[in-house]
């Protein structure tokens, strides 16, 4: 189905024709319908795409994007930042405002999440334990993430015709980077949506009636800023475009400055009265930086070259083998590299590198004047998407260039060491892909336009189909394999052996991972749909520990695990022992099943064993094989049947 859709859109885009009257969006003031019709008539009869086919494709693409964002939404565990987000929105509204103090986050996204939980609790009458599960709390982000596809179509229509804009909409719908952050509890998925909406309304406003589009643009700008302050970088792009415009209406700049003023007041109000952002964050950066940022891999040539790959294809290359910083950050242990062949997928690096080369080639080839090279007259509407070439739309592609260049330059200069004379800040800043994610929409517009400009229908179909398949494959890894903290994969397997009336009868030992921030307890609590207590402050509301089984996060090494097994041998009240460790590809030695069975003695029997891989976040392809082993004490009824998976 997907190749057929791309084939159809590529054929239609290969002969881009001026649009008929009534097909134009955000028409410029003073544009004459007669002028549009006359230009089209001079070209001869124009083939029309049946309206029902257009809307079928439109809603089909929207359904694909929504499905990829909602399918198995609660499959992955909360990771540490999502846990901190839950801590902020789980209490009263006053608690929310208090927890945001000093964090540097605007209140928009957290207020939306808090309102979502409040509505479900007081109007839908859902239990608190069910509300604070991944499948429920991630719904607002997935909903806004689904809307980014039709919003991307509106944005694309400001650059190209309807048919090519549908291809761009498809790229928005299946983009793995956008899908991942739409399924995350942080603000980034919502921020990308508001940036896309703001860009579309900005261009509509500049070409349409200000009293129609400007209020919508100003509202979207405020929503963007109050979702993430990085939106100011995009406002800098829009300001630069306003200053570079060769054709300006007298009222545009005053209105734009008004919008900037409103956003500035909101930002100052929040920083000054509701958060100690500068003192708590920026000031400490100047004193040497927040300690945890030094554990990340900083921006370098690889980060810059990998930006389009991670924004469009959903992976960052090359990351194999993992660096020492990555090993330390994920606490993989000293033995990880010694047997990496059984834990990683080194061949994927070559596949990803080859795919990235193909993608960059398509981006570059889209810039070449193929019509001139073939000796034909360039079709102005292929770029502008409108027969009104005098309205300046063909210059809008410089807007995409500014979108990519200005934030990229700021990120790059901001990542330089403090001692570098070109450093933009008086401190060292670590830029993560999610910080730079709002540039992804610019890359998508460029890629969609480039595909339709490739020479020959066959080349367009092959390149478009190949890149879409890679995007879908990368996106599906977010849904199908373990990418976040592995607690949910463990707890779903062992819940069948848990008796909530005898919580002391089970003990679970987990391998310690990146952020042991009570993630295991939180996810186990969610499996039980137990109520949560609400406490103000930074930490997640303390779970009712007497309603969940006891657990411990153990470091690498045999001693702590063997000590737990010895304790289980002497603890007569313990009936179920669970080991969930990341040594699933080690079958001999002190942590082997045979060795643990010897410590536990004949009163304990292995009743369940299962293996799965944890892939260490979404854009890495090195994995650790985990194993889940469940022992139960033999009772008078006899031992349970062994269940291995």
Q: Where do the CATH 3.30.110.20 domains begin and end in the chain? A: 487-644
Please, which residues have CB within 8 angstroms of residue 403's CB and are 6 or more apart in sequence? 199, 234, 237, 439, 441, 442
Q: What distance in Å separates the CA atoms of residue 111 and residue 349, rounded to the nearest whole number?
A: 41
Q: Which residue shows structure tokens 């499905």?
A: 67
Q: What integer pLDDT is reported at residue 220 of this predicted model?
A: 97
Q: What is the average per-residue pLDDT within 38-54?
A: 59
When pLDDT is averaged across residues 525-534 and rounded to a whole number, the result is 59
Q: Which of 93-102, 458-467, 612-621 has the highest mean pLDDT?
A: 458-467
Tell me, what's the pLDDT at 287?
A: 46
Q: What is the pLDDT of residues 320-334, one digit of tens each?
A: 667 776 777 677 766
**Residue 419 to residue 421: CA distance in whole angstroms:** 6
Buried b (16+ CB within 10 A) or exposed e, 577-601: bbbbbbbbebeeeebeeebbbebbe
Residue with tokens 């302050």: 229
Token representation of residue 67: 């499905």
pLDDT in tens, 180-205: 999 999 999 999 999 999 999 999 99
The tokens for 281 are: 């964050």
If you write DSSP's letter for every residue of 419-447 in order, what string do you get?
A: TSTT-SSSS--PPPTTTTGGGHHHHHHHH
Measured between alpha carbons, how far is residue 206 from residues 154, 218, 396 in Å? 14, 13, 11
CB 200 within 8 A of CB 238: no
User: How many Å apart are CA 41 and CA 387, to the nearest integer?
Assistant: 11
Q: Say what the pLDDT of residue 622 is.
A: 79
Q: What is the rounded distance in angstroms from the CA atom of residue 203 to the CA atom of residue 396?
A: 9
Categorize the per-residue pLDDT at 177 as very low, low, confident or very high, splitting at 50, 70 and 90: very high
The CA-CA-CA angle for residues 352, 358, 362, to 5°, reads 140
pLDDT in tens, 506-516: 999 998 876 65
Least reliable range by pLDDT among 7-21, 390-404, 490-504, 608-622: 7-21
Q: What is the mean pLDDT of residues 401-414?
A: 87
pLDDT tens, 549-603? 888 889 888 999 999 999 999 999 999 999 999 888 888 889 999 999 999 999 9
Q: Looking at residue 568, what is its pLDDT?
A: 95
Tens of pLDDT, residue by residue over 300-349, are 666 667 788 889 998 765 566 677 767 776 777 666 777 676 677 777 77
Residue 236 near residue 406 (C-beta atoms within 8 A): yes
Q: Which residues lie below 8 Å from residue 168, measured CB to CB, with a gap of 6+?
A: 152, 153, 155, 156, 160, 444, 445, 448, 449
74-83, 364-373, 466-475, 576-585: least confident range? 364-373
Task: Return left, alpha or beta for 428; rule: phi > 0 is left, psi -120 to 50 is alpha, else beta.
Answer: beta
Do the beta carbons of residue 161 and residue 36 sit within 8 Å? no
What phi and psi, each to the nearest 5 degrees, are found at residue 631? Answer: -110, 145
Highest mean pLDDT among 20-34, 384-398, 418-432: 418-432
Q: What is the pLDDT of residues 125-155, one digit of tens each?
A: 887 778 888 999 999 999 999 999 999 999 9
Q: Which helix (H) or strand (E) holds 645?
A: none
- As a whole-number percent, the residues of the chain with pLDDT over 70 amount to 72
Query: In the Cβ-directed half-sphere of 130, how many Cα atoms lie within 13 Å?
Result: 6
- Provide CB contacts within 8 A for 238, sequence distance 6+: 199, 202, 256
Helix, strand or coil, per DSSP, at residue 12: helix
Q: Supply the pLDDT for residue 504.
A: 87
* Spacing of C-alpha 595 from chain mean position: 42
> Is the per-residue pLDDT at 474 higher than 70?
yes
Output the average pLDDT for the chain: 79
User: Does the pLDDT at position 545 exceed 50?
Assistant: no
The residue-averaged pLDDT of 636-642 equals: 50
pLDDT at 16: 36
CB under 8 Å to 509, separation ≥6 — which residues?
Answer: 551, 552, 554, 561, 564, 577, 578, 579, 580, 581
pLDDT given for residue 414 in this prediction: 73
38 CB-near residues (< 8 Å, 6+ apart): none
| CATH architecture of the domain covering 487-644 | 2-Layer Sandwich (3.30)
Residue 123: pLDDT over 60: yes
> Residue 304: helix, strand or coil by DSSP?
helix
Nearest C-alpha neighbor of 550 from the set 497, 513, 509? 509
Question: How high is the pLDDT of residue 320?
Answer: 64
Residues 413, 390: Cα–Cα separation, whole Å: 37
């Amino acid at each position: 189905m997907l190749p057929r859709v791309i084939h159809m859109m590529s054929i239609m885009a290969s002969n881009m024709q001026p649009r008929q009257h009534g097909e134009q969006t955000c028409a410029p003031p003073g544009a004459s319908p007669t002028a549009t019709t006359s230009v089209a008539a001079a070209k001869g009869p124009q083939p029309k795409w049946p309206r029902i086919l257009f809307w079928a494709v439109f809603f089909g693409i929207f359904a694909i994007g929504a499905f990829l964002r909602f399918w198995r939404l609660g499959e992955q565990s909360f990771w540490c930042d999502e846990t901190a987000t839950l801590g902020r929105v789980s209490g009263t509204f006053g608690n929310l405002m208090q927890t945001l103090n000093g964090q540097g986050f605007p209140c928009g996204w957290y207020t939306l999440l808090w309102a979502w939980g409040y509505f479900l609790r007081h109007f839908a009458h859902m239990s608190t334990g069910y509300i604070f599960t991944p499948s429920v709390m991630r719904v607002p982000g997935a909903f806004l993430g689904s809307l980014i596809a039709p919003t991307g179509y509106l944005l694309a229509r400001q650059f190209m015709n309807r048919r090519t804009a549908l291809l761009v909409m498809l790229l928005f719908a299946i983009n793995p980077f956008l899908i991942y952050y739409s399924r995350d509890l942080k603000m980034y998925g919502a921020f990308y949506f508001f940036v896309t909406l703001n860009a579309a309304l900005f261009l509509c406003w500049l070409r349409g009636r200000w009293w129609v589009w400007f209020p919508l643009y100003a509202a979207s700008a405020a929503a963007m800023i109050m979702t993430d302050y990085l939106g100011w970088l995009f406002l800098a792009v829009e300001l630069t475009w306003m200053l570079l415009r060769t054709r300006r209406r007298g009222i545009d700049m005053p209105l734009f400055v008004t919008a900037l003023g409103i956003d500035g007041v909101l930002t100052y109000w929040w920083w000054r009265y509701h958060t100690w952002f500068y003192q708590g964050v920026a000031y400490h950066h100047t004193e040497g930086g927040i300690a945890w940022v030094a554990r990340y891999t900083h921006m370098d040539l690889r980060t810059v070259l990998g930006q389009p790959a991670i924004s469009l294809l959903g992976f960052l290359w090359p990351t194999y083998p993992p660096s020492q910083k990555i090993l330390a950050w994920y606490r993989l242990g000293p033995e990880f590299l010694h047997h990496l062949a059984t834990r990683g997928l080194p061949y994927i690096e070559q596949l990803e590198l080859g795919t990235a080369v193909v993608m960059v080639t398509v981006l570059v080839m889209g810039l070449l004047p193929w019509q001139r090279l073939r000796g034909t007259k360039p079709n102005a509407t292929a770029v502008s998407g409108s027969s009104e070439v005098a309205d300046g739309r063909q210059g809008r592609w410089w807007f995409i260039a500014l979108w990519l260049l200005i934030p990229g330059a700021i990120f790059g200069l901001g990542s330089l060491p403090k001692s570098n004379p070109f450093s933009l800040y008086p401190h060292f800043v670590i830029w993560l892909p999610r910080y730079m994610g709002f540039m992804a929409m610019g890359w998508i517009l460029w890629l969609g336009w480039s595909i339709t400009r490739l020479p020959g229908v066959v080349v367009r179909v092959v390149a478009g189909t190949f890149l879409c398949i890679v995007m879908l494959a990368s996106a599906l890894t977010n849904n199908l394999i373990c990418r976040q903290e592995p607690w949910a994969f463990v707890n779903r397997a062992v819940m069948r052996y848990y008796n909530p009336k005898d919580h002391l009868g089970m003990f679970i030992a987990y391998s310690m991972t990146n952020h042991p921030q009570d993630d295991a307890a939180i996810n186990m609590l969610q499996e039980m749909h137990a109520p949560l207590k609400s406490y103000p402050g930074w930490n997640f509301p303390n779970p009712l520990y007497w309603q969940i089984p006891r657990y411990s996060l153990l470091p690498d090494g045999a001693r702590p695990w063997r000590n737990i097994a010895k304790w289980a041998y002497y603890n007569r009240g313990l009936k179920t022992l669970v080991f969930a460790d990341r040594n699933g590809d080690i079958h001999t030695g002190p942590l082997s099943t045979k060795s643990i069975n010897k410590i536990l003695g004949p009163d304990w029997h292995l009743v369940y064993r299962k293996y799965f891989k944890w892939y260490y976040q979404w854009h890495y392809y090195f994995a650790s094989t985990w194993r889940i082993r469940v022992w139960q004490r033999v009772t008078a009824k006899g031992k349970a049947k062994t269940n291995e998976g």
